[in-house]
Amino acid sequence: MAFPEPKPRPPELPQKRLKTLDCGQGAVRAVRFNVDGNYCLTCGSDKTLKLWNPLRGTLLRTYSGHGYEVLDAAGSFDNSNLCSGGGDKAVVLWDVASGQVVRKFRGHAGKVNTVQFNEEATVILSGSIDSSIRCWDCRSRKPEPVQKLDEARDGISSVKVSDHEILAGSVDGRVRRYDLRMGQLFSDYVGIPITCTCFSRDGQCTLVSSLDSTLRLLDKDTGELLGEYTGHKNKEYKLDCCLSERDTHVVSCSEDGKVYFWDLVEGALALALPVGSGVVQSLAYHPTEPCLLTAMGGSIHCWREETYEAEGGAG
């Protein structure tokens, strides 16, 4: 007799504040998990990038080399390199262990809002307010990008990468998806400046946030609108959005000091998590666990589900 499969646990939302880290780097412009969720990066208005163990609350290394505030960062799949972009228009490739700058790529005509590695960490993709996405070969000594994507009519706010496609959101109100296998460009018109885009974890959908305080879930292939999520406030800042680790909830920063969670399928607001009295500037969701990082002012907060017990007692 076959035993029935155990019922999957209902998804738990991270709403217990475990740690608050004062990052000591001015305003934290972005917070990002590394690939396995064990470490995180914070981007500072004081020109530094910092690497942390967020659950322990320990600072591991500070990376100095930008000439102006750091706006975004990402880690490579093997944790050996970091990339970052900022207000100095530069894209920087770092060696994690030594803290040294490996390469500094220049070419953007305005600040760099967003950076990503490709899957093999051989190429850095950067999106700028100069309306272009540039692809930089990490192994090349040439100063110019290997490719430049300049279809956008206004600044690039968000770039995400899958194994064969590039997803970009622009202030021109369009989401563009470059399918590198097919050599095709797909464009969906939202009509309002876009602040953040991301793939669902299953790769079937794209989530788009825009300055009308609305998130939209689109079918990646057809562009069909699958859901709309409202209740938060996003009228003037570039704020992050994402999906929870099992694609059950849509998550967004807000200008009213909260993080909002909606049920993906039903569209209903599941939780408005109070973070503080300022703008929740950035967030990062753990790749496999209900763990959330939020950035507000000069601090980041680490959140876990209510039932979470830190190793060795309370965190």
The beta-carbon contacts of 40-46 under 8 Å, at least 24 apart in sequence, are: 40/284, 40/293, 40/300, 41/73, 41/74, 41/75, 41/82, 42/295, 42/300, 43/69, 43/70, 43/71, 43/72, 43/73, 43/84, 43/86, 44/69, 44/70, 45/69, 45/70
Tokens of 131: 């309306």
DSSP string, 93-161: EEETTT--EEEEE---SS-EEEEEE-TTSSEEEEEETTS-EEEEETT---SS-SEEE---SS-EEEEEE
pLDDT (0 to 100) of residue 1? 59
Listed residue (42, 39, 97) closest to 73, CA to CA: 42
Averaged pLDDT, 28-55: 97
Q: Which amino acid is at 6?
A: P
Query: Does residue 10 carry a pLDDT above 80?
Result: no
Question: At 4, is the pLDDT very low, low, confident or very high (cuts 50, 70, 90)?
Answer: low
DSSP string, 57-95: TEEEEEEE--SS-EEEEEE-TTSSEEEEEETTS-EEEEE
Report the C-alpha gap between 231 and 264 in whole angstroms: 14
Domain ranges in the chain?
Answer: 34-238
Averaged pLDDT, 68-85: 98
Q: What is the pLDDT of residues 176-210, one digit of tens each?
A: 999 999 999 999 999 999 999 999 999 999 999 99
Report the C-alpha gap between 200 and 217 in whole angstroms: 9
Query: Does residue 52 carry a pLDDT above 70?
Result: yes
Please report how many Cα atoms fall inside a 13 Å half-sphere around the Cα of residue 20, on the Cβ side.
9
Distance from the Cα of residue 194 to its chain's centroid: 14
- Percent of the chain residues past pLDDT 70, beyond the cut: 96
Query: What dihedral do alpha carbons 13, 16, 21, 26 form, nearest 10°?
Result: 60
Whole-number average pLDDT of the chain: 95
pLDDT (0 to 100) of residue 7? 64
Q: What is the pLDDT of residues 148-169, one digit of tens each?
A: 999 999 999 999 999 999 999 9
Query: Does residue 101 carry a pLDDT above 50?
Result: yes
pLDDT (0 to 100) of residue 11? 81
Classified by CATH at the fold level, domain 34-238 comes out as Methylamine Dehydrogenase; Chain H (2.130.10)
Listed residue (89, 91, 124) closest to 109, CA to CA: 89
Query: Does residue 3 carry a pLDDT above 70?
Result: no
Question: At 314, is the pLDDT very low, low, confident or very high (cuts 50, 70, 90)?
Answer: very low
Averaged pLDDT, 270-286: 97
Report the C-alpha gap between 196 and 199 in whole angstroms: 11
Listed residue (97, 96, 85) closest to 129, CA to CA: 85
Query: Does residue 315 carry a pLDDT above 70?
Result: no
| Cβ–Cβ under 8 Å, residues 107 and 144 | yes
Query: What dihedral do alpha carbons 287, 288, 294, 295 form, nearest 10°?
Result: -30
- Percent of the chain residues past pLDDT 90, beyond the cut: 93
- Token look-up 């880290």 returns 21
